[in-house]
Every structure is written in C-alpha cells, then in structure tokens.
Chain A
C-alpha cells in the first residue's frame, strides 16, 4: 500500500473528527445560550414546590400548630441540610434561636 493511499483515509478521519468536535462545541454553546434559561425555569419551579413542602413540614418551627406534626417529624432531619439557604431565600437572615441554624 503506497503512503498516499494510507494518508487519504487518515485525513478523512481527521476531518470527520474536526466536524464532530465543532458540532459538540456548538451543542455546548447552544445548550448554554438557549436551553440553560429553560432548565433554570424548571429548577425554579421544582424549588418553589420544595419550599412549599418544607414550609408545611416545618410549621411548628414557624410557630403554627401542625396537626400532622407526628407524621412529618421524621422528615425534618432530611430537610436540615439546606435549612440555611431556605430561610435566607424566604427573607430571614437568621432562623429561630441563635445556634439553631446560624
């Protein structure tokens, strides 16, 4: 096989790789430019629902009597992790007694 005949498929393969790489870059740009705001909207909606749920679970901590506190109490440990971000998002710089959260 002459060197020329080997070079041709290699160059075609390189060109193909370049095309694929350019397509991937364009995909990444497109996702960041057009899809990201949309996904952001989805995440915002999911967070809004989470916030409502968290408020219901933590009614007692907010000073409202919760008729199903016994059932929801076991969920509280799962919600403590991002408690700080939540109360700040709700407009309260600190949460409850000093040391409870921050």
Chain B
C-alpha cells in the first residue's frame, strides 16, 4: 500500500465528484427529496376519518356521544337520517365507517348491557380499516369511562383499560419513517453511486489505464472507498439534521453511537456496490443490479415501512440477508427509544459481519486484469 498513490486516487475521485452533477444529485438532492416526500407526504396515521353516524332515537346520551365524536381529532362525523342512507355513503366512499346508535341505545346503556353501538367499517383498505376499528373501540371505552366519572362514580366499571404508549406517545408515523429513510438514503449513496462510478471507469477505458500503472488493486479500491464513505457520512449527517430540526423527530439515543453504527452500515453498503461493479462493467447493468439487490430491498424488506414480523416465513428469512434491515432497527431504536444496548449490539454485529463479507469478496474477486 503506497500512501502517495492512494492520496492521488482519492483526490482524483473528489475532483470528479465535484464536477459531475449526477453524483451530487444522487448524494444530496435525492436524500432531501426522499425526506420531504416521506416527511410531509406519506403518513400512516388515520386522522379526520369521515364517519357516518345514524341515531335512531335521539336522547341526551346519544347527543353526548356524538358530541364526543365531534371533538376527537381522529374523526369527522356526519349525521345520516337512516342506516340505508349511511350505507349508501359507505358504498360511495364518502364515509369510511358507520356508527349506528339503535333505538335501544339509552336503555341498554343504563342496564349495562353489551354492544349497544353497531360499527360497520369499509374494509377495502385493510390497514386503514384496522386502525379505524381500534380508534372506534378506544373512543367508546374513553367515552364510557368519562361518563362514569361524570356520574360521580355511581357505578364503577369492572375493568378499565389504561393504555400508555411508549417511545412515540403522539403516535406520529413520521417519527418512525424518517429514521428508516436514512438507511435507504445511505444504501443509495453506498451501493448505487459506488457501483455506477466504478462501471463508468470500465466504460470510459480509464480502468484499463489505471491497471497498467503500478497502482495495486487494493489501492484502487481504497481510492473508491474513502471518497464515497465520506459522501455517505455527509448524506447521513444531512438527513439527521433535517430529521431533527425540520421534521422535529426526537433523537433520544447517543449521536456518537449512531455515527459509529452508520459507518459500519456504510462499509457493508460500499462493499455491495464494489462487488456489483466487479461483475457489471457498464453503467446501465450496474444501476439495474444495484437497484434490484440493494435499493428495493432496503425499501421493502428492511422493516422501514412494512413490519418484518408480519411477513410470511420465507420472506422473513430473506430479510436477514438485507443489511438495511439491521440498520433500520438500529436507527429506529436510537431515534425513538434510546441506547438500548442489546438491540444495538446484536444488529451492529450483523452489520459488521456483512461489511467483512462484502469487502472481503470484493478484495478476492478484484484481479488486476481485464478478463
């Protein structure tokens, strides 16, 4: 390893990065775009869900119930004269669910009998339907509890749920999405960008000229690793800054632990990028492979949006091969829960293994020859 040669290779790479708008775009513009899209645009929360309410026989109890519904931020209720009209609205998707307070609502309530409210929910969007179902139940429980308190605890409820939500008390899905997004962004820089720039050297014939110099393959690889490692860390710092200051996602855990584990993930991602480029020697093929084996899995199979535990077993086993999976777990823990060492160590160890594997494979496969 000759330090002078490595220095010159690194300097060359930085000059190229600075002069090539597409590298800057992938490293800095794309992360900002993704963060804005997911931070502002995508939300997994259900808020202001349109609900049709049908009251067969209005009483003081029913108007108190509907009043409670109107004050909730989760629902925007509309009164319908009959269950028939409400079902029509459900069919036309003007309402996502129906609450039907039947004629005997007040009577059964007074008797403490069960299920006086009928709820009908549009199940087309299964995820939303489940959220809505949960919200309705929660709201019903709350209303009952408040009513009991108002009536001077005349009759205590036998069991009372007292839910407490940990780590993300406001249940903001943004707080959960943005940390995972950082893993996707770093995959983009580490694997896609690196695979592309190495393929470009093959395409333009500069790799042939490099190989005919005394520079060793190790030096050529380090010359690629260092600049894109620094770019990846830069992309991560930019994303964390935006997450914390623009999207007000709390960073509960230690920043330094995050930096260290990010570096580990980046090494694994760079290893994948370099390994891809040792097989694909043109930019088109390199981009295709990088997107299919690194970027898309980081999006879909990392647990960033979709919960891994609810996946079928074969897919769940597959996710163990995705480096982003471990990093998403680390980031979500660090941002929302803090330095939970068992999780950090377990996932960090997996990342370390992957980094060693991919970089080792790259070193083994890279010969200083053209065939």
Q: Tell whether A pairs with B.
A: no
